[in-house]
Structure 1
Amino acid sequence: MAAATLGLVGLDIQAASASELAKDLFGGKKLPAAIAPASYGFYSKGCFSGGVAIATDGPTWQAMRLSRNRRWGHPKMIALIEKLSREAAADGWPGLLVGDISQPRGGPMLTGHASHQIGLDADIWLTPMPDRRLSPTERENMSAVSMVNEKTHRVIEKRWTPAHTRLLERAASYPEVERILVNPGIKKKLCDTVTGDRSWLRKVRPFWGHDYHFHVRIGCQPGSQGCKEQDATPRGDGCDKSLAWWFTEEPWRPATGPAKPRARDIMTMSSLPKACRAVLDAPSPTSEAAVTYHGPGGSDYAATPAPQAPSVADTPVIADPGTPAAANAFAPRPSVDIPLPRPRPANK
């Protein structure tokens, strides 16, 4: 009888856990899952293990908004940010101000992003690093500078420089980078001014916001069988009708009807890949310092196996037939409510 009662209690606890908001559980973790690096699910519906932190300061970068504890990512993501900082500095960029990457174990965030959940996304400010170390207070309160006029949706000419273009070109040059999200005004500026080799513009995708930072996304990494790939970006440089759509009234028209809840505010553990429960319950490393990235071979996660990857059926991904494919930076996507461009009007 006691065993049966205990079993029922266990089921009740499991059911309650499954109904808890995932953002509260993942947002409460201060350190990563000390198991092999792997991403599970989709960029806006998943988690990751084996995360490492980018150091708060490097010779060519400084991390911002430290109180958010979002300096974590898949080791390949952190390595790429550091590589970009070095090579961009050689190109003439003073250094990177690094914004949000991911929470220690990914998952939906308490505030902000729909994506950044599987350790493969990072925000880089379009404000260059100053020639001094910022204080913790400055890193919390310093405002990034918008590059775009919010009324015209065009770049503010006096703020944009050739160095900004070189920075984006450098980021797009890496094979592992699949997308760079920028404001439509920035994409248009690139379309209007880039000469010579324009093939890298294919990776630069217009999306709402992203006027003071750009969003770098890399693809699923080896060892992440449960990671869901995105469709390839459309052919061409993207300087076509899909970009012109952003300069009509339609993308900026206020939504009508009752406001829908944000995905992060309703996403429970049962909504995420099954492996995310193991990621959430995995032990933590001994300290943050032990898992701060210091170049290749800087962590010992490889000796510990990752949780079994979920099957594709665990986290269904559907296309949105109403969205212009070339304008949809996040297609395909999970069947949860995340921001997407409105359908192109029939008479356009």
Structure 2
Amino acid sequence: MTPMRLLVSVLFALGVSAGLAHAQDVRPAGFSLPPMVATPMTPAKELFGRVQRPNAGPDRSIGFYSNGCMSGGVALPLTGPTWQVMRPGRNRFYGRRRLIAMIQRVSKKVAAQTNWAGLLIGDMAQPRGGPMLGGHGSHQIGLDVDIWLRQMPAQEIPMAQRETIMSSMVVAQNRIDVNGYWTPDTLGAIKAVATDPEVERVLVNPAIKRAICRQATGDRSWLQKVRPNWGHDYHMHVRIGCGGEKSCRPQRDVVPGEGCGKELDYWFQRAILFPDPSPKKPSKAPPPFTVAKLPGECAAVLNAP
């Protein structure tokens, strides 16, 4: 089958995903993307972002977290005993079966070990993974999930409210510490996630990492998994590993140690916290990232029934 026919054949899948620059951007439930005429140069995100359902293929991650796709994904139920999916209208609540099991497992642990009733779940992956129209560079192979740093209430949140309610910003205005929304239960929730054996990374704002370094007691070995990264002020980005799967390219091992020393101090240099806002000279726009630039099997996943 030619690349053109592969691209055109997916146009039936007019999805309800969305996405701007942030993981909790508001989109109304049922938001759908308009039809489009595809060409071999159509960006891959435009095609994967319109797919409504997973394919019926084997359960696999193909490629890397920021350059790949997912086969045989499954949806996390929008409401469970210890979790609730936020922004369901974005249609980004799919993942590998191992990811689904991890979310269910750690949410139960959070409910048992903290005052939170469970976890509020943000973006996972699109039905077949792949690049998103906005909001994430990764989340492409069904092994990533954003978990909000807002306490889940005991009662079920109405679906309409899940599209508009915001998470809790726990980073102070000065960007060097946490604020009053940070509580011992926030720390407990992150610890419950990071201590799960399948979790390889937990990305948080550097100020959150600093608070964890200051407050964690007892066995601190789990701090090694918690890594500082910008853009995680109100959620933790949780990632599980490839599990030895040949079609999945693993990430590098984390740097040994707690990560609470000079490597953390780097993030609080003034030039890093407040970079020079001087406009840069406009650069030439890169060519579109097409399906052909993804791992070869992703075209078949996109085209599969």
TM-score w.r.t. the length of structure 2 is 0.84
Q: Provide the rounded CA distance (Å) in 2 between the counterparts of 1:132 and 1:75.
A: 26
1:257 aligned onto 2:285: no
Return the match for 2:98 from 64, 76, 83.
76
C-alpha distance in structure 1 between counterparts of 2:138 and 2:254, whole Å: 18
> Of the candidates 70, 76, 81, which is equivalent to residue 54 of structure 1?
76
Matched residue SS, 1:76: helix
1:81–1:25: structure 2 CA closer, same or farther, 3 Å change rule? same
Given that 1:38 and 1:221 are in contact with CA atoms closer than 8 Å, whether structure 2 keeps it comes out as no
Answering whether residue 117 of structure 2 is matched by residue 94 of structure 1, we say yes
Note if contact 1:77-1:119 (Cα within 8 Å) is conserved in structure 2.
yes
1:225 aligns with 2:246: yes
CA distance in 2, matches of 1:109, 1:259: 24
1:248 paired to 2:269: yes
Aligned to 2:148: 125
Question: Partners of 2:39 and 2:224 in 1: how far apart?
Answer: 42
Candidates 130, 135, 150, aligned match of 1:112? 135
The verdict on how the C-alpha distance between 1:155 and 1:11 changes in structure 2, with shifts beyond 3 A counting, is closer
Distance 1:142 1:242, change over 3 A: same
Bigger-Rg structure (1/2):
1
Residue 268 (structure 1) aligns with: 290
Identity of aligned residues (%): 47
By how many angstroms is 1:133 displaced? 1.4
Match of 2:51 in 1: 29
**Equivalent residue, structure 1, for 2:177:** 154
RMSD: 2.1
Query: Do residues 67 (structure 1) and 89 (structure 2) align?
Result: yes
Gaps in structure 1 of 5+ consecutive residues? 1-6, 284-348
Match of 2:163, SS state, is helix
Question: 1:206 maps to which residue?
Answer: 228
Indicate conservation of the 8 Å contact 1:17/1:269, yes or no: no
> How far apart are 1:249 and its partner, in Å?
1.9
Distance 1:261 1:73, change over 3 A: farther
Verify the 8 A CA contact 2:209 2:226 in the aligned structure 1. Answer: yes
Matched pairs, number: 272
Query: TM-score, normalised to structure 1's length?
Result: 0.74
Verify the 8 A CA contact 1:178 1:217 in the aligned structure 2: yes
Instruction: Output the CA distance in 2 between the equivalents of 1:64 and 1:150.
Output: 25
CA distance, structure 2, for counterparts of residue 117 and residue 11 of structure 1: 21
The answer (yes or no) to whether the contact 2:6–2:303 under 8 Å persists in 1 is no
Letter in 2 for 1:195: T
Relative to structure 1, the CA distance from residue 228 to residue 259 in structure 2 (aligned partners, 3 Å threshold; closer, same or farther) is: farther
148 and 11 in structure 1: CA distance in 2 versus 1, 3 angstrom threshold: closer
SS of match in other structure, 1:149 = coil
CA distance in structure 1 between the aligned counterparts of 2:143 and 2:285, rounded to whole angstroms: 21
For residue 240 of structure 1, report the CA deviation from its aligned partner: 1.1
> What whole-Å deviation, never above 9, does each CA across 1:17-70 have from its counterpart, x for those lacking one?
542210011001000111111111111111010100010111111100011000
Q: Distance in 1 between matches of 2:219 and 2:68?
A: 36
- Which SS does the other structure have where 1:123 is aligned? strand
1:290-322 Cα offsets, whole Å, 9 max, x none, are xxxxxxxxxxxxxxxxxxxxxxxxxxxxxxxxx
Distance across 2 between alignment mates of 1:237 and 1:161: 21
